[in-house]
Amino acid sequence: MDGPDEQTDGPAGLTARDRAVLDLEGRQWPSPGVKERAIRERLGMSPVLYYQQLNALLDDARALAHAPNTVNRLRRARDARRGRP
């Protein structure tokens, strides 16, 4: 049986944790340290795990449906780092 973080609900079909990761990433943060603390406190995960999960979500159409501005912004940044137009 799935735990609470693994249950999917809502129109996007993402887990509660997936939605929380996308929602947290969509916020503005005054500094990286504040964001990392929020990741630990609100999501109960390390920043490394957070960014791994976030990167995986960038290629998920359900994530795009849930947070199009955030996903498209992060895709553009990723593509720029990889040297893609």
Mean pLDDT of all residues belonging to the chain: 88
Predicted local confidence at residue 4, as pLDDT: 43
Q: 52-55: which pairs have CB atoms within 8 A and are 24 or more residues apart?
A: 53/17, 53/18, 53/21, 54/21, 54/22, 54/25
Phi, psi of 8 (to 5 degrees): -100, 140
**What beta strand segments (E) does 5-80 contain?**
none
* pLDDT confidence bin for 83, thresholds 50/70/90: confident
